[in-house]
Structure 1
Amino acid sequence: MSIQLDFRTLSLTLMLFSIVFGLGMFAYAREHAKFSGIKTIGAGYFLIGGGCVLLGLRHFIHDFASVVISNLAIIMGVILIYRGLFRFLGISLRFERWLSPALLVLLAPVLYFYTFHAPDVSMRIQAFSATFAIASFIGACGLLQQPETRSRSVARMLIAMFLTVAAFFIFRVIWSFYDIPPDDFMNAGLLSSLAVLAGEFVVISSSFATIWMASDELQKELSEIARIDPLTGTYNRRAFDEACEIEFSRSLRSGSAFTIIMCDLDHFKKVNDQYGHHIGDQVLRHFADILKDRVRQHDVVARFGGEEFVLLLPNNNTEQGRLVAEQLRAKTAATQIALGRDINLAISASFGVAQYCIGDSEWSAVLHRADNALYEAKKQGRNRVVVSASADQSLEADPAPVK
């Protein structure tokens, strides 16, 4: 038994695609509420599916529903698709706000006129196709404004999709001027069947691209979470190691210096023992905020373990690293953490500074010298900065007094 893929059959197929993908979008949006625009895209699919249902019921329902409402629903569905994509990608297109509604306002009377006052299938085809082409161009123009931080490959795919569909409907408009006017839209020929396939192409491509972009965002978020210490918001040891590997490779190529600072809160165990771990966590967060607020944007601050933190300062020599460490030490020593109405907790920290030296076989050698400098700072009385200038130089204590 052979199946004839006529216009009505293709419309049924597009309707099924639209409903299934629309339900999928709503379910995905429910599970991932952080993404904007996905529900809007799903609503667009439902409108396209509803329009196809009305189209397929031609000759069974009133022409106003099967012609005017159905075509308007399909165009509105396309508008909601690209509006959802714009919201998802954070795109704002000023002219789209008035042009999209204008398309619907202009199309409605044209369809009504050439359906009831001067019935003309060719004119309706031309009006619908021109409107669909303009809507597709709007979608492509908006996606051209897509931020560089997002996946460009997906954006290019969507732009190509919209431009391809727009080109097809422009060709359909031109072809209708030379083609024999059909007596019945349901038998309007190959191009009308291909128009339904173009609708399926829009639904499938946009849904695939949306899920692709959402998956990329989730993957980036998970990757970032895996690199962040949940208590302090600084990087963790794994992220710090990766940053040091990159900076060490760059220093080997260019000969530029970098500095590592290791720091440790003084007498932190006493804080936990006397006030409890919840106060200890509060102290760690305060100290982490001090470190993050006093460094450059491209510097790396990481929690090394327990109350110990480490900083990577690219393009910094020993003296620059010492000045940074001293600023951090002074700021920490001046910090008072309110524990109650009349209780303030004073904290301090010790710092060890070391610079990358030509001849270091690996970045961990710098970290080892910074660790030794930190140990010396603790040994000398805490709340001070000690510098290890090179692998063969002795440790130098900062003259700042112990407080």
Structure 2
Amino acid sequence: MHVDLPTLYYLVVGTLLASAALTLWEAQINSARRRPLRLLAIGYTTLAVGCTIATVRDHLFGGVGAASANLVIVAGYLLVWNGLACFVGRRHLIASLALWLLMLASWLLAGPQAQTAMWMYVSAGPIALICVLAMCDALSIDPDRELRARYIVAAVMAVHALTYALRCSLLPWWVSRHGPAGLLLAGWLTMYEGVLFSVVLPMAVLRLVREEAHGELLRDSRTDYLTRLGNRRWFFEESERLMRAKHARGPLSLLAFDLDHFKQINDEYGHDTGDSVLQAFADTARTVLGEPVVLARMGGEEFVALLPGRHGEEARQIGEALVRQFAAAAAAGVCGMPLAATVSVGLAQLDQDASSLAGLLAASDRALYRAKAQGGNRLELA
């Protein structure tokens, strides 16, 4: 089916405006990503305005139409770039302004005699550059998380960059060989790709935002709200995964923790102070245990840590260091007052004390009860 260029322009305009509306809607319900989504929506709208001007560029006074359309379109791409950069906390305001002013200067220097060459070939170069930069920012979005849409966004920007790079570099040669028919074909191909860009990029960004939100919900469901450690569910999932791994048959130790006389602290100083004690223990445990470790709050004042690659003697030294440092931290002051907060620890080792996770937990609990029975503030072996 043959579609003429003006129709393709209008199709791009329509999809960009629809994408801007959907992106603004998403911004209203996603406060965490409101700023980048709004920037992207403004960028899509600006691109739509630029494409609208492009459809009537030949009728504007003094040949200013092509320059006006291109400058508006470049501004739209710069807004899209900055919108994607916002996802990673970056700003490119100075670079964007410098690039836009450079394009403005190029159009002024080109003069009326070079308007066609500027529109057909030269103006494509900066767009290709902006898309490459936007692709790099897209690949930087939460690199430690599994966000497949990030790669779709980057791929769309890469294809768009390649399209305009080819237009800038190879189109003059193509037109010299094939004449007006070759130019018309190149225009169709560019606009068809533009239609895909105006649809796929916004949908990929919205998918990215949804993936982020889903990941946050999943992470919250596995995280203790007070200490920001893993919760009971997360501990069992991670521990089972770790013990199924091929390297899990190496040294593996488990430390069970219980804060001593915690109810007394709550009764005497209040639950706010008790919460601060729990947070202080979590912070101390993170520091002392280091990585790798599966550290979680099991509930109340009970914590547990699975230490892969640590044999019993090394785990004992780490556990005893934690006992000492937590007592010292509490004595130095929690909520502005020194407290006699201590912790009891039970240590169990895989194979030596138990052969399964359930067995490790049971063995470490028995050692923990012995530590508490002996006055607490100590570590006992299973």
TM-score by length of 1: 0.80
Alignment match of 2:367 (pick from 364, 367, 373):
373
Unaligned segments of structure 1, at least 5 residues = 183-187, 389-403
Q: Give 1:347's aligned residue.
A: 341
Shift of 1:138: 4.2
Q: Report the AA paired with residue 292 of structure 1.
A: R
Aligned to 1:225: 220
Change in CA separation of 1:194 and 1:255 when aligned onto 2, cut-off 3 Å: closer
How much does 1:18 deviate? 1.8
The DSSP-based 3-state class of the residue aligned with 1:336 is: helix
Give % identity: 27
Matched residue, 1:276: 270
User: In structure 2, what is the Cα distance between the partners aligned to 1:176 and 1:28?
Assistant: 43
Letter in 2 for 1:246: R
CA distance in 2 between counterparts of 1:94 and 1:298 reads: 40
Partner Cα distance (1:149, 1:291) in 2: 23
Structure with the largest fraction of helix: 2
Q: Which has the larger radius of gyration?
A: 1
Q: Closer, same or farther in 2 for the Cα pair 1:34/1:138, shift >3 Å?
A: same
Q: Deviations over 1:353-378 (max 9, x none)?
A: 11111694422211111011001111
1:38 paired residue number: 37
CA RMSD of aligned residues (A): 3.3
SS at match of 1:345: coil
CA offsets 1:193-234 (integer angstroms, 9 cap, x no match): 443333323322321232232223222222221221001111
Deviation track 1:319-341 (CA, whole Å, cap 9, x = no partner) reads: 11111111111122222375787
Q: Give the 3-state SS of the residue equivalent to 2:32 in structure 1.
A: coil
Task: Give the CA deviation at 1:281.
Answer: 1.6
Instruction: Tell me the SS of whatever aligns to 1:262.
Output: strand
| Alignment partner of 1:357 out of 351, 359, 374 | 351
Q: Secondary structure of 2:13's match?
A: helix
Q: Describe how 1:389-400 pairs up with structure 2 within 5 A.
A: none
In 2, Cα distance between the equivalents of 1:108 and 1:339? 65
2:127 counterpart of 1:135: yes
> Is the 1:133–1:169 Cα contact (8 Å) retained in structure 2?
yes
Is the counterpart of residue 323 in structure 1 residue 317 in structure 2? yes
Which aligned pairs between 1:250-269 and structure 2 lie closer than 5 A?
250=245, 253=247, 255-269=249-263
- For 2:318 and 2:192, the matched residues in 1 are separated by 64
SS in structure 1 at match of 2:297: strand
The answer to whether residue 211 in structure 2 is matched with residue 216 in structure 1 is: yes
- The question of whether the paired residues in 2 share the 8 Å contact of 1:257 and 1:356 is answered with yes
Residue 51 of structure 2: aligned partner: 52
Contact 1:301 1:309 in 2 (8 A): yes
Partner SS state of residue 294, structure 1: helix
Aligned length: 372
Residue 401 of structure 1 is matched in structure 2 by none
Q: For structure 2, which runs of at least 5 residues remain unmatched after alignment? A: none
For the structure 1 residues 16 and 94, does the alpha-carbon distance in structure 2 shift closer, same or farther, using more than 3 Å as the test?
A: closer
Could you tell me how far 1:386 is from its partner in structure 2? 0.5
Corresponding residue SS for 2:289 = coil
Amino acid at match of 1:12: Y
Is the CA contact (8 Å cut-off) linking 1:45 and 1:81 kept in structure 2? yes
